[in-house]
Chains A and B, each alone.
Chain A
Amino acid sequence: MLEIKGLHADVDGKEILKGIDLSIGEGEVHAIMGPNGSGKSTLSYVLSGRDGYDVTAGTITYRGRDLSELSIEERAAEGIFLGFQYPVELPGVSSTTFLKTALNAVRRQRGQDELDAVQFMKRLRVHTKALNISDDMLRRGVNVGFSGGEKKRNEILQMALLEPHFAVLDETDSGLDIDALKVVAEGVNALRGPKRSMLVITHYQRLLDYIVPDYVHVLAHGRIARSGGKELALELEEKGYGAFVSGTEAA
């Protein structure tokens, strides 16, 4: 489904990713763990095509296509979704308008009919109920005045609506208390399926108690230092990153 080979990437001329190899199969959930500054978010931005994140070597193949040929919005339409570590506030853009515009833009590009207001609201309701998202949140500007937990639930809502094939969730757990974490994890788990792969980025093992991954990778200094099964996360929790990553402070 996704094949990353020898990936090097620069941010503002500085090399951050220094040779990443990663293969994610259909329906698999992979976790990437690593200390702050190791390049986790950089990888997520490279996958979504953000300007300023330049691939200098290597390839990313997604469902048989070279990803570098696709613009940011085309990647979204092809089913790549990024749950942001820091969801962006858009004052003056109402949440409902944003969600409807996004869903219809993606549907248009996927050759599906656009939804009218009634059809859209019906679909939206199903997800907002499950994710405990209030009407007040939907009336506000996108992420404006949202708490940390509300912002992360809003990311999951977008993922649920856009029905991606491949979701990258960047520190979806950061800043959440345990109850909020459970709501978010339930939302993610509800979307797991044989046709949907995920890359769950986290700093802490805690999230992986709720979203249990098939594989765990440790990222350090822009390279994958170690890969293993879900038990690797527990080992990391016990020993800290220092045991795996030379020259890196323990988390």
Chain B
Amino acid sequence: MAMEAYQAQFAAHLPKAGPAWLADLRQAAAARFSAAGLPDRKVEEWRYTNLKPVQEQLFALDTAPVGDTPPALLQDSHRLVFSNGVLQGSADDLPDGVRLAGMAETMAENPGLLAGHMGKLAQGQELPLPALNQALSRDGYVLAIDPGISVSRPIEILFLSDGGASYPRNLILAGAGAQATVVEHYLGLGGGGYFINAVTEVEAAAGAKLQRYKIQQDASGSSHIATLAGQLQDGARLENFDLNLGGQLVRSEIHMALQGVGAEAALNGVYLLRGKQHCDNAIQMDHAVGATNSQQDYRGILDDHAHAVFQGKITVRPDAQGIEGHQLNKTLLLSDEAEIDSKPELQILADDVKCSHGATAGELDETGLFYLRSRGIPEDEARQLLMTAFISETLAKIDSDAVRGIMERLVGEWMAA
């Protein structure tokens, strides 16, 4: 798509009200995107992913909300629903010291909360898609938790889509020692030739504990691009889990900075693809200081002509001694035409570190299948048992029992389909 078309959208959607810093931020982002354009495959980080479906079409920005809202995944949650990118309603029963609201609404009511945080982590020359998001975003969620507050009920955010383009802009600010569990659920209705380009920025102050789970079930014809940018201070912990089931073209990018001593990130995920689905998980883990821990475990099952990409880079800065960083990617290929490109990368500039990475790809174990069938288990059921077993270790790492249960159910449904 010609850059002029995007520039026309930028001009039409410049904020008419609100703080000057926001207008500056958006203009700078628009300029960055105009200069860089959508990345093509000559860019190393985009070598395996072709943005053609997004390039060929300009998606409308103002799509009417989807009619009916499906039921929540979690029982007893604080819930926000976005429909084609715009917040519907509000969350209720929030405990003191917790703000969970729309980005647009927060910008109008309390812009000071966002100043200096919005756009702090997800920017830079190498991130044209977050820049596009910044320039065109209309809404998203803000979760701000005061120090020491633990949100006991899980938070569920639904992004419901059926057309156009949406650019959710999300921000999580966890004060020192704060705790919360957030589920971002992306759900598509219809066949969906729509485009989602989401950004979630996470700042976790010292000792904060966050669980952020993403369940991506966008429509089969959609393009889903998401960027998570996080920064963890001393002793903060983030558990992130990405379940990718939907979409035609999917890119899930994570930039995680372990900024304080004792910070810890567990970034895990499962991707289950069939047909001509493409899913690219691209992770950059930055051990900025010593005594930090990171772990990545991504597993997937690919059928038909599906294509998955795993690019995981662990960077250990020169003074980051005594860190541990582990990375694992395993893929099961159910068809000869399915394909995985797995590219682990370690850049270690300190000497006292414990790092590992590994990648495997293989077919379903025929001997195991025979063993199960010889015990009377029908072939389909035997295959499902082995597929479930293949990803069970990764799913078992999900700390929240309720969320693990939901993911297991969705995985089971995928396998039975």
Mark A residues whose CB is within 8 Å of B: 48, 50-51, 71-73, 75-77, 81-82, 84, 87-88, 90-93, 97-98, 101-102, 105-106, 109, 141, 158, 162
Contacts and interface: CB of A to CB of B under 8 A. Distances in A.
B377 A101 contact: yes
Contact of B370 (A72, A93, A97): A72
Interface residues of B, number: 22
A67 to B, nearest CB: 14
Interface of B: 366-368, 370-379, 381-382, 385-386, 388-390, 392-393
Contacts of B370: 50-51, 72, 88
A76 B386 contact: no
- Centre residue among B366, B367, B373 by max chain A CB count within 10 A: B373
Contact of B389 (A84, A92, A162): A92
Nearest to B370: A50
A48 B372 CA distance: 12
Contacts of B371: 84, 87-88, 90
Contacts of B379: 71-73
Given A50-B374, A90-B389, A93-B388, 12 more contacts: A50-B370, A51-B370, A72-B379, A73-B376, A76-B374, A76-B376, A82-B374, A87-B371, A90-B368, A90-B385, A92-B388, A101-B377
Contacts of A72: 370, 373-374, 379
Contacts of A73: 373-374, 376-379, 382
Given A88-B367, A88-B368, A90-B368, A76 B389 contact: no
Contacts of B390: 92
B374 A93 contact: no
Contact of A93 (B367, B376, B378, B385): B385
A102 B382 CA distance: 10
Contact of A105 (B367, B376, B386): B376
Contacts of B393: 92
B377 A93 contact: no
B385 A105 contact: no
Nearest to A76: B376
Nearest to A110: B376
B378 A105 contact: yes
Given A72-B370, A90-B371, A102 B376 contact: yes
B386 A162 contact: no
Nearest to B394: A92
B374 A48 contact: yes
Nearest to A106: B376
A4 to B, nearest CB: 19
A198 to B, nearest CB: 16
A105 B375 contact: yes
A48 B374 CA distance: 7
A162 B376 contact: yes
Nearest to B387: A92
A98 B389 CA distance: 11
Nearest to A92: B389
- Centre residue among B371, B382, B388 by max chain A CB count within 10 A: B371
- Centre residue among B368, B377, B386, B392 by max chain A CB count within 10 A: B377
B386 A77 contact: no
Contacts of B366: 51
A102 B375 contact: yes
B258 to A, nearest CB: 30
- Centre residue among B366, B382, B388 by max chain A CB count within 10 A: B382
A97 B392 CA distance: 13
Given A72-B374, A76-B374, A91-B389, A101 B381 contact: yes
A141 B392 CA distance: 11
A109 B376 contact: yes
- Centre residue among B372, B376, B379, B382 by max chain A CB count within 10 A: B376
A162 B368 CA distance: 18
Contacts of B375: 76, 98, 102, 105-106, 158, 162
A51 B377 CA distance: 15
A97 B393 CA distance: 15
A93 B373 contact: no
Nearest to B395: A92
A51 B381 CA distance: 17
Contacts of A91: 389
A51 B366 CA distance: 9
A81 B385 CA distance: 20
Contact of B373 (A76, A90, A98, A141): A76
Contacts of B378: 73, 105
7 contacts: A71-B379, A73-B374, A90-B371, A93-B389, A101-B381, A109-B376, A141-B389
A162 B381 CA distance: 18
B10 to A, nearest CB: 49
A227 B211 CA distance: 68
A77 B377 CA distance: 9
A105 B381 contact: yes
